[in-house]
Amino acid sequence: MTTSPQTSELILVTGASTGMGAATATDLAARGYHVIAGVRREADADAIRSTRIQPVILDITRPEQIVEVAALIEADGRPLRAVVNNAGIAVNAPVEVLPLAEWRRQFDVNFFGHIEVTQAVLPALLKSGGRIVLISSIGGRVAQPTYGAYSGSKFALEAVGDSLRRELAPHGVQVVIVEPGAVRTEMVGRGGVTLKKLSADMTPTQERRFSGLMRAILAQSEGFLRSGVDASEAGKAIATAATTPRPKTRYTIGRDAALLIRLARILPDRALDKLLASALRRLFPKPHTSLND
């Protein structure tokens, strides 16, 4: 078998157990790259392992595992073409309702973990003239109700991405931000489970204040699972962002993301508030229904 130029280059993908991460790893491998795929469990590793996909156990909230992956890349010897910071969780609830421990968990995975991975592999990227790809979200540009923690972590990631791009451009390392809209992934389903659990812990006053909103957000999330972009399509877009010779600074995935970002640019805040509220209002439950019905 002839060895392609890409086979002599590594790409690290975090959060590759399922969804966009797994799809990105698969697409990159099909393009000929050797992919180091960060997964959480051995069963996930067995599911994704192939000739060009090398799974590693990587929980990005575990510093010792990040150190091990960085050492693996250094010992391999092949240049690191890119790191795709994809791992993420969604924890949705009103600011008043969401416990502080859940805020910290959201930021540990969606923000601080990515910073630690990037710092660990940056020496290899500087050596190779590689690329950092940060998987943000439309939620990193527009914060809907109950998305305070999730959007907060993504807004922070967007800001760091801009800073990194300006810091590293003189040193030959490119930084790209990818902003998916609705994508059919397991993360959306897991977010719905968390939303139901948090709703069960609300006080009676909070229940009266927010139950309708939380039911509407859950219905919206379930709609994403039916109508969102397929994970394979998102993975293809992310793989392109990681490997195209002259990347844009930002990519959106899905028409909903492109439209909402465009509206956020041109509409005053109050007008955007009304638009988002109107979209949710039709999803509010009828009286006397609960989140667990």
End-to-end CA distance of the chain: 57
| Whether the predicted pLDDT of 168 surpasses 80 | yes
Q: Of 191, 137, 229, 184, nearest to 19 (Cα)?
A: 184
d(Cα 88, Cα 186) in Å, to the nearest integer?
Answer: 11
Q: What is the pLDDT of residue 221?
A: 83
List the domains of the chain with CATH numbers: 5-184+229-265 (3.40.50.720)
Marked catalytic residue, from 33, 147, 150, 251: 150
Q: Are 13 and 36 in contact (CB under 8 A)?
A: yes
pLDDT (average), residues 16-44? 97
- pTM here? 0.91
pLDDT bin (cut points 50, 70, 90) of residue 198 is confident
Scanning the structure block, which residue is given the tokens 């990105």? 24
Contacts of 110 (CB under 8 A, 6+ apart): 88, 89, 150, 153, 154, 157
List pLDDT tens digits, range 219-235: 888 887 788 899 999 99
| Whether the predicted pLDDT of 122 surpasses 50 | yes
Query: Would you call 251 a catalytic residue per the annotation?
Result: no
pLDDT (average), residues 260-277? 96
Q: What is the pLDDT of residue 2?
A: 43
pLDDT bin (cut points 50, 70, 90) of residue 197 is confident
